[in-house]
Amino acid sequence: MPLYELVMICRMGESSALANSLKSVSTMILENGGVVRQVNNLGDRVLTKNYKSRDGISYGVGRWIQVSREAQLLIFLSLMCFFSSNSTEAHRLGP
């Protein structure tokens, strides 16, 4: 299987939501036959533009998380659907 990287931009100060999101992503990858190789906290960075969340709050700084995984490309589509449909999660897929 090829090695892919997933970069997530997360809200600051929501450690429980970050933990839940990482568990969900890891579980989804494992259930679809993939392997999570590494999870890195790339640090807090100023975003190139302010992002508005669904509740109307604007964010200018985000926490970048990198997940290295061996998986089929179709799992990426499942992850995109998960993040776009789950409004309770505090994270979005990064560029």
- Which tokens in the block code for residue 78? 């499942």
Task: Name residues of the chain where pLDDT drops below 50.
Answer: 87-95
pTM of this structure: 0.72
Domain residue ranges of the chain, discontinuous segments joined by + = 3-93
Question: What is the distance between the alpha carbons of residues 31 and 33, in angstroms, rounded to a whole number?
Answer: 6
Amino acid 90: pLDDT: 44
Amino acid 38: pLDDT: 93
Question: What is the distance between the alpha carbons of residues 46 and 3, in angstroms, rounded to a whole number?
Answer: 28
- Which tokens in the block code for residue 12? 């600051």
CA 22, 23, 24, 26 torsion: positive or negative? positive
Amino acid 28: pLDDT: 86
Q: Which CATH superfamily groups domain 3-93?
A: Ribosomal protein S6/Translation elongation factor EF1B (3.30.70.60)
- Which tokens in the block code for residue 32? 């679809």
